[in-house]
Amino acid sequence: MSTRSTQQRLRLRYAQQGTLRFVGHLDITKIWERILRRAELPLEYSRGFNPRPRLQVAAGLPLGASSAAEALDVWLEAPVWPSDDLRPRLQAVAPRDLTLLSAEAVPIQAPALPMLAHSATYQVRPLPPARFPEGLPAQITALLQADQLLRQRKRKTYDLRPLILGLGQPAEQMLEMQLSLGEGRTGRPDETLAALGLAEVPVQIHRSALELATTLLEQDHQE
């Protein structure tokens, strides 16, 4: 893809909840395509036989999870930001369960958004009448003290432990976990729950934060 016509790159932060919890990564990208077209933004398109708007989601959301911390980059052929009416324009044509939180211009040649995605924080609660066991604090301590947590994914063995950056129980019936993101180093909430012995507990998962690697952004600015 060429960036010769790019005049602006926008980073949109948004929340995804309700029925959109069951929409996959590719489908949420298509939903954003419709939103941006309806809002009549000057989208840049890829080259080739099947041109598509240039969009990039930071990290796929686990199916069934809600989020208050999603991020999307959009490439434009003409600047639209700063503008007081951009957020209202986009929100007016967005589905009910998608809320635009912020918009900002970022350097056109900044690293790809998935490369910047460093970690995600998830809040996990049991679905009533299910409850977390009383011994959960001890299970958390044992997990954090483990040198390795070998798991199977797609018939391959991997170590889950370095992918868990933080794990705690801020309330009796809530777990909070910070998991690594990135190609080949993504920690999954369901596998973390399984490592805690909670695979059979029905839960609601909510992504509360998405951390982008600022060091890569700083390097790009210096270049």
109-143: pLDDT as tens digits: 999 999 999 999 999 999 999 999 999 999 999 99
Interatomic CA distance for residues 168 and 171, integer angstroms: 9
The whole-number average pLDDT for the span 8-30 is: 96
Q: Give residue for tokens 């951390």.
A: 211
Residues 146-196 have pLDDT tens digits of: 999 999 887 889 999 999 999 999 999 999 999 999 888 899 999 999 999
For each of the domains in the chain, give its residue range(s) and CATH number, in order of start: 8-109 (3.30.70.580), 116-212 (3.30.70)
Give the pLDDT confidence score for residue 3 in this predicted structure.
45
Helix (H) or strand (E) holding 208: strand 203-212
Contacts of 208 (CB under 8 A, 6+ apart): 67, 68, 69, 121, 122, 123, 176
Q: Residue range 24-40: average pLDDT?
A: 95
Decide: helix, strand or coil at residue 92.
helix
Mean pLDDT of 1-11: 74
Alpha helices for the chain (secondary structure H): 25-38, 86-92, 113-116, 136-145, 189-195, 214-222
- In angstroms, the CA 78 to CA 6 distance is 7
pLDDT-based confidence at residue 211 (cuts at 50, 70, 90): very high
